[in-house]
Amino acid sequence: MSFFYELADQYIDGEWRTGSGSWDIIDFNPYNGEKLAAITIATVREVDLAYRAAERAQRSWATTGPYERRGVLERALRIVEERHEAVVEAIIDELGGTRAKAEYEVRVAKEFLRDAMHQALRPRGRLLPSPVDGKENRLHRSPVGVIGVISPFNFPFLVAMKSVAPALALGNAVVIKPNQHAPVVGGGLVAKIFEDAGLPAGLLNVVITDVAEIGNAFIEHPVPKVISFAGTDRVGRHVAATAAGLFKRTILELSGNSALVVLDDADVDYAVDAAVFSRFVYQGQVCMAANRILVDRRVEQEFTEKFTARVAALRTGDPRDPDTQIGPVISAFQADALTALVDRAVAEGATALVRGRTRGNLVEPTVLTGLPEDSSLPAQEIFGPVALLMGFDGEEEAVRIANDTPYGLSGAVHTRGIERGVRFARRVVSGMFHVNDSTVQDDPLVAFGGEKSSGLGRLNGEATVDAFTTQTWMSVQHGRSVFPF
């Protein structure tokens, strides 16, 4: 299937249609610059049509039996399995992801579909006791209605599916606004899968557009009750402020600045493996990626030698080549920004233990150490293949450095003492932290989200139920109440 020819359109109320805007979003392959598609953008009118279609369709979907909803999700899963290779190819072409990254994204997306199938059948009511004799308290969960999903470019298929699949399972309708760098994988492809799975028209819509055209219309529209956003903290703040003024719920997965910490008793070889993956998976364009590698000075020399040797050996090139480990970053703008960042750090006194070249959108890995104390680099998110190697003396200093950032999304600690690692993890302000593993983790059953500037709310498992349903307390008095007057 040629996704980029067939799915490069708006998808509204079960119809593929051309946007009514006056300009096109051009979808490029970030590796070779090939034009994949030209998509005429949606205007405020299409945003309204999409939300109104979702609102109409959701009323009957909310009363549809859970087994019927599960059936749609089962068919969607089968379609992804049947088209697995084509989806992988699309991710490689549109995102510049390596084959390993694309395989991972599709595999985890399938797990979220499987979990959503179970969500459709899980009980949504509870009976709670009351101090009043004869009173029965019933707590009911209902779908919130319509959810607006704004997906990112880095894992667009997975991140969209994380919201879309459980939202539909719980009786909601969805409108997706995919990132401009991933309009097909993050939008049209998801819609096509559910269309072919028999999802009734209007329940899932896709509008491909830009804030320059629609402003805040996607958030401010009166229909959506929840906005699920994944992206930078700068944009996330705007989404949160706009939605809060309208009493809309937000789920925000924002920027990160993870630390992978290597304590003095760590298995150094294993820690090196985890650090290389945590920093350089998908060219470092991952919110959970380990920007900072913190190493106890007692093992710093051994770790540094092994880590830099591994990084220097990473192969950068064509993401279609199965031997490639580092593909292109998403755009020339990002490549130039990363090059300038490294140049500035070196000019300020940092040492480049590995200094990668930039060739078009291919940015080879760089490892920096010896950053001056007043450097702002360790506190910020670096969305690319640049690692900061930092030494520390003892756990107290490691905890201080790990927390010395406005972000708190993920992290990891390596130690031979499991409970020592757990105690360390509990001292770091982070939504997720892992002992003896990578900083990059996702699991359908476990709450996913960050602290500080890394976001608000959680997704996955029961957290998704909380995000995409509303609760109603209904009490039933058996017999007669006694009133004070």
Q: What residues are annotated to the active site?
A: 253, 287
E-strand stretches of 214-255: 226-230, 249-253
Among 237, 258, 39, 228, CA closest to 152: 228
CA distance 165 to 120: 10
Contact 191, 7 (CB under 8 A): yes
CA distance 224 to 58: 11
CA distance 28 to 35: 5
Which residues neighbour 253 within 8 Å (Cβ) at sequence distance 6 or greater?
Answer: 159, 229, 230, 231, 287, 448, 449, 450, 454, 455, 459
* CA-to-CA dists, residue 371 to 162, 444, 463, angstroms: 38, 38, 39
Which residues neighbour 149 within 8 Å (Cβ) at sequence distance 6 or greater?
Answer: 160, 163, 164, 167, 174, 175, 176, 177, 227, 228, 229
CA distance 484 to 306: 76
Q: How, if at all, do strands 407-408 and 451-452 pair?
A: antiparallel
- At 471, give phi and psi (nearest 5°): -110, 140
What are the beta bridge partners of residue 139? 126, 473
CA distance 81 to 106: 9
Among 452, 453, 410, 459, CA closest to 435: 410
CA distance 346 to 365: 15
Judged on CB neighbours under 10 Å (0-12, 13-18, 19+), 347 is exposed
3-state secondary structure of 94: helix
Angle at 384 between CA 353 and CA 379, to 5 degrees: 80
Angle at 296 between CA 291 and CA 299, to 5 degrees: 110
* Helix spans in 16-173 (H): 44-61, 66-82, 84-95, 99-119, 156-169
Contact 454, 433 (CB under 8 A): no
3-state secondary structure of 220: helix
User: Which DSSP state fits 199?
Assistant: P
